Amino acid sequence: MPSQDPSHAQALQDQYEIRPDPVALTHNHDDPSQNADSGVDYEPYPAKSIPISAEHEKIVKAITSLYSGSASKEDMEVYAHDAIYDDPWSYCDTRYKIAGQWYGIPKIMASSKTLATEIVSDTPTEIIYKQKQEYKPRPLYVSKEVNSLVTLTLDGEGKVRYHKDQWNEKDYSHEGLGKIMKELNGDHLTKITQPPKDL
């Protein structure tokens, strides 16, 4: 698959990236002892989740299914063709490259389960939620739970244009060696995970 024009990817980032305020969104006022030193509490409390539309529920369900190893073309359709995925390890600037991440889950994980979510912000063009994911990598088969803050930016057609997954309170600088390594991972993982070419 052809690589995204860097200037086009930058334009997507400029238009759709949201930089959420993790403390404002997740600080636990009811039980401050649950907050990290940075003031965030990424532990999801489903009972506190704010209501969202059926359309947004469908998007969240598709995304959590991908986190859980569905490797499904149907679930991938929540992304626009030109979309960005951004987490501590990868930066992908097309839907096909994003699929490279998700199609790798069943290959490297014995299991991956979304244990809980909590919607903390919802507008017509964004969904922000806390997520607890349990990963069990091969060949160790030792479970690891990861809490994160997931931000989905949507376009006018309700497609995900920017998917950001933050594991702590720090946002991503898009600079230096870290950005280069994330882009390399995003660019080349598809050669290993081999998602369908027609995504």
Least Cα distance to 18 among 126, 129, 132, 138 occurs for 126
Q: Convert the pLDDT of each residue in 167-192 to its tens digit.
A: 887 767 666 656 667 776 777 788 88
- Taking a C-beta distance cutoff of 8 angstroms, is the pair 62, 71 a contact? no
pTM as predicted: 0.90
In the prediction, which pLDDT does 139 show? 86
State the Cα–Cα distance between residues 61 and 78, nearest whole angstrom. 10
Averaged over 138-157, what is the pLDDT?
Answer: 94
In the prediction, which pLDDT does 67 show? 97
In the prediction, which pLDDT does 165 show? 95
pLDDT class of 140 with cuts at 50, 70, 90: confident
Least Cα distance to 137 among 155, 116, 166, 113 occurs for 113
Give strand pairing partners of 121: 128
Residue 3 has pLDDT above 60, yes or no: no
Higher pLDDT, 124 or 177: 124
Cβ contacts of 157-160, under 8 Å, gap ≥ 24: 157/80, 158/55, 158/59, 159/78, 159/79, 159/80, 159/83, 160/59, 160/63, 160/78, 160/79, 160/80, 160/83
Average pLDDT of every residue of the chain: 91
Helix, coil or strand: residue 192? helix
In the prediction, which pLDDT does 1 show? 52
Residue 33 has pLDDT above 70, yes or no: yes
Out of 51-60, 136-145, 177-186, the most confident range is: 51-60
Averaged over 7-15, what is the pLDDT?
Answer: 87
pLDDT class of 7 with cuts at 50, 70, 90: confident
Least Cα distance to 165 among 69, 64, 95, 72 occurs for 64
